[in-house]
Structure 1
Amino acid sequence: ATERFYDVIVAGAGPAGATLGYELARRGVSVLLLEKEKLPRYKPCAGGITVKAANCLGLDIAPVTRSVVRGVRVTYKGHRSFTKWYDKPLIFMVMRDEFDDLLVRRAQEAGVTVIDNEAVCRIEISSQTVKAATAGKTLESRIIVGADGARSAVARDAGLMRGVDLGMGMEAETSVAGEKLVQWDSLMGLDLGQIRGGYGWVFPKKDHLSIGVGGPLRQVRRLRSGYRAVLKSCDLETGSVSRLRSHYLPVRRKGMAIQSKRCLLLGDAAGLVDPLTGEGIHHAVRSAQLAAPVIHRCLQADSPDLREYEDAVDREIMPELTAARGLARLFTWFPGLCFGLVEGHDRLWRACCRLLRGEETYVSIKQRLYPFEGLFDLLTI
């Protein structure tokens, strides 16, 4: 039997789903937020919230911040390295179970109904409503939103995101001796050259390190060896590794539909992952903020036309992803050159820092590359 009717059902209680629920509830919309795992749940993720993403949230994340990063140690092929510092915070390090729970609780306080441990198995979209079936329930709404990650059940049943470009990351929580842990105080590590088109990372989490590696899907067989190489490069081989898990990193190309009839997609489900860094939280949150007013207007007009949301993503987010794709190609072909440029040019280093803080964009960096802008455009094809 069909249970209570909602205006909107959101599948996935990550940053995108929780933010959308909050934004819609503030507008008086009845929202059901479904999460397949028991909350709060561990999520394989580096757990770096850029200052840009944190500012976008409009929420104090200090209670869940494990470390504030102001410097980066960059290593190339395990033998060349440099460390640079910035005078302002760059990234707030969190554990995703704590961070996501903060956002879910904000949504609940705004009036969102949350049901955890309940995965969406399939959806059926009709002219008037959407039915979402779980293992034990059939739920109904006027609109359904897929914020359920790279392997979105909502996207699958709506026929969206087929053939999306995929990367893959592998990450673990690693306990190390105190004298090694203190070396990463306010410092994150990036390890280049181990995987073509990818990189390794070391993120400090106060009492341990999150260490991982990521790259294009074609490099998936090299992830484990690349992970071991990162541990060796950063002198962290003696650490105690737990929760080693992998996850997909989907990257949308402009023109791929992220809405259809009474359905739309957010965040990773929509492929809104930075193709250079693999970071997806900022675009997840921002996509939710773009979707909320569109959904609200559609509900008021009793119209299922959600194309305005896709248009907004194409205007605001896709130029950044397209420009990042060009830089990712440059990095894939010339990682040593990229390492040397950042090492030797403080102006470029500061531009990277401003990018993390939201004071610079990929598009603005691209525009400053004139007269090489045409070559840059070729890299994005």
Structure 2
Amino acid sequence: MTTYDAIVVGAGPAGSTAARLLAQRGARVLLLDRARFPRDKPCGGAVTVRAAREAGIDLSPVIERTVTEVRVSFRQGKTFVRASAEPLTYMTQRCRLDAYLAEQAACAGVDFHDSVAVRQVVGAHGPFDFAQGRRAPLQADGVLVRTDGDSYRARALVGADGANGVVARALGLAPVGEEAVALEGNVPADDKLLDRWEHAIALDLGGIPGGYGWLFPKGDHLNVGVGGWRWLGPTLRRRLSDLCRFLELDESGLWGLRGHHLPMRKPDARLWRGPALLAGDAAGLVDPLSGEGIDAAFVSGRLAAEAIIAFLAGEAEDLTGYETAVERELMEDIRVSRKLQAVFHRIPRPCVAVMRRSDAFWRILRALVRGESSYAEFRRRLGPLRLALDATAWVCK
């Protein structure tokens, strides 16, 4: 049986980041993913400027477009344009991004095994058997991870295997409160169409409760999608067709159609138990307003590595410092984002009108999008008006 300092389950942005940083600090790390790489994943593939910084490595090899323009419409009506001299966001494909991140982790010394599904996690009080559905809390004395063909032991475990991951179930944790769903696909594009969207994205706002429609350009195709509250799931296919017609896209060539859930953390949900913790989508760290999760995945991967390094070195008795760090670096922003989401989707027309008419508001929004400011800073800059925001958000619940 092979022994590691840490095992990371899930090789997305959170898992690969945690694994790479742990290895760079001298830990022996195993990174497992059930899929065969490269593999695609339901995701629009937008990497914010802040996320690119948080990645801690150069992402340019997998960046396909740099976005400097947003074409905004309200309920598929008249479109207006907001532009920036500096990048607003970057576009990639998850099949390329995740493979690259796993490769960088391997280059740092991580043992990466794809096509390996975790079947059982064993702790101090015995196993959690997925077939029988028995749960056993883990204590801080290490874990045993069993796959179909092998067993591995480690002093610490990171669950970065998504919203429905096996690690959270093994730990008896349920941090994710599923609130939103999305449906997206890809449209073939000739050179003329690609040139039209070379540095631009489209956002259709106000027409989908709890969400929006989008068009994101990729290297050789366009990604289109719609998302909103989960009860809208049965209507998303029709809404996607409507969006394609509005954007004058040939829906007959639509490929890679897939739906997915947007995992959002329950208030004060626990993110660790014993020598194990949850990161990324497994922890429900998605931005409620935008639905973006790659930024928080990179941040939580870094925080996970820092907490585990301290734990392995005996500088921390447990992993409670991870939860504290997530609260400090991510949760205030997520809470403010949830308030803004509640307000925007209750009164979308005035919000879009302000976006169209106010250059000052666009500068604030641009700083938010670029990661030069935060939702929490935006709320603080409101001064006395932040009380109005909080009250309106409460009424709009």
TM-score when normalising by structure 1: 0.95
Please list the CA deviations of residues 195-223 of structure 1 after superposition, one character each: whole Å capped at 9, or x if unmatched: 11110110000211011111121221221
Distance in 2 separating the partners of 1:163 and 1:99: 24
Q: Is 1:318 aligned with 2:351? A: no
Identify the match of residue 373 of structure 2 among 348, 360, 364: 360
Aligned pairs (5 A) from 1:190-339: 190-238=203-251, 240-301=253-314, 305-339=318-352
Distance in 2 separating the partners of 1:183 and 1:284: 31
Kindly indicate whether the alpha-carbon contact (under 8 Å) linking 1:19 and 1:107 is maintained by their aligned counterparts in 2: yes
Partner residue, 1:101: 99
Please list the CA deviations of residues 143-180 of structure 1 after superposition, one character each: whole Å capped at 9, or x if unmatched: 11110011111011211125624311211121034333
Partner residue, 1:343: 356
Matched letter for residue 332 of structure 2: P
* Higher deviation after alignment, 16-25 or 245-254: 245-254
Kindly indicate whether the alpha-carbon contact (under 8 Å) linking 2:339 and 2:390 is maintained by their aligned counterparts in 1: yes
Once the 2 structures are TM-superposed, how far is the Cα of residue 268 of structure 1 from its aligned partner?
0.5
Please list the CA deviations of residues 59-116 of structure 1 after superposition, one character each: whole Å capped at 9, or x if unmatched: 2211111110000001111122111110101111101111112211111111100000
Partner residue, 1:74: 72
Identify the match of residue 151 of structure 1 among 155, 164, 175: 164
Distance in 2 separating the partners of 1:373 and 1:309: 29
Partner residue, 2:134: none
Q: Secondary structure at the match of 1:121?
A: strand
Partner residue, 1:57: 55
Partner residue, 1:89: 87
Q: CA RMSD in A?
A: 1.6
Kindly indicate whether the alpha-carbon contact (under 8 Å) linking 1:261 and 1:304 is maintained by their aligned counterparts in 2: no
Matched letter for residue 71 of structure 2: R
Please list the CA deviations of residues 24-52 of structure 1 after superposition, one character each: whole Å capped at 9, or x if unmatched: 00111111000110011111110011111
Once the 2 structures are TM-superposed, how far is the Cα of residue 331 of structure 1 from its aligned partner?
1.4
Once the 2 structures are TM-superposed, how far is the Cα of residue 339 of structure 1 from its aligned partner?
1.2
Distance in 1 separating the partners of 2:251 and 2:330: 41
Distance in 2 separating the partners of 1:290 and 1:195: 34
Q: Is 1:178 aligned with 2:178? A: no
Once the 2 structures are TM-superposed, how far is the Cα of residue 122 of structure 1 from its aligned partner?
2.8
Structure 1: segments with no counterpart, 5+ residues: none
When residues 302 and 343 of structure 1 are mapped into structure 2, their CA distance, relative to the original with a 3 A threshold, is closer
Once the 2 structures are TM-superposed, how far is the Cα of residue 273 of structure 1 from its aligned partner?
0.3
Kindly indicate whether the alpha-carbon contact (under 8 Å) linking 2:122 and 2:145 is maintained by their aligned counterparts in 1: yes
Once the 2 structures are TM-superposed, how far is the Cα of residue 304 of structure 1 from its aligned partner?
5.8
Partner residue, 2:143: 130
Kindly indicate whether the alpha-carbon contact (under 8 Å) linking 1:213 and 1:227 is maintained by their aligned counterparts in 2: yes
Structure 2: segments with no counterpart, 5+ residues: 125-138
Matched letter for residue 3 of structure 2: F
Distance in 2 separating the partners of 1:72 and 1:171: 19
Distance in 1 separating the partners of 2:155 and 2:307: 14
When residues 116 and 304 of structure 1 are mapped into structure 2, their CA distance, relative to the original with a 3 A threshold, is farther
When residues 372 and 152 of structure 1 are mapped into structure 2, their CA distance, relative to the original with a 3 A threshold, is same
Matched letter for residue 16 of structure 1: A
Identify the match of residue 372 of structure 1 among 382, 385, 394: 385
Distance in 2 separating the partners of 1:31 and 1:269: 19
Partner residue, 1:20: 18
Kindly indicate whether the alpha-carbon contact (under 8 Å) linking 1:33 and 1:115 is maintained by their aligned counterparts in 2: yes
Distance in 2 separating the partners of 1:346 and 1:123: 53
Distance in 2 separating the partners of 1:208 and 1:372: 43
Kindly indicate whether the alpha-carbon contact (under 8 Å) linking 1:176 and 1:239 is maintained by their aligned counterparts in 2: no
TM-score when normalising by structure 2: 0.92
* Higher deviation after alignment, 134-143 or 298-307: 298-307
Q: Secondary structure at the match of 1:317?
A: helix
* Higher deviation after alignment, 190-199 or 119-128: 119-128
Kindly indicate whether the alpha-carbon contact (under 8 Å) linking 1:25 and 1:31 is maintained by their aligned counterparts in 2: yes
Distance in 2 separating the partners of 1:235 and 1:8: 50
* Higher deviation after alignment, 274-283 or 350-359: 350-359
Kindly indicate whether the alpha-carbon contact (under 8 Å) linking 1:250 and 1:273 is maintained by their aligned counterparts in 2: yes
Once the 2 structures are TM-superposed, how far is the Cα of residue 303 of structure 1 from its aligned partner?
6.3
Please list the CA deviations of residues 316-373 of structure 1 after superposition, one character each: whole Å capped at 9, or x if unmatched: 1000000000010011101212211101111111222111221111011111222221
Distance in 2 separating the partners of 1:304 and 1:229: 54
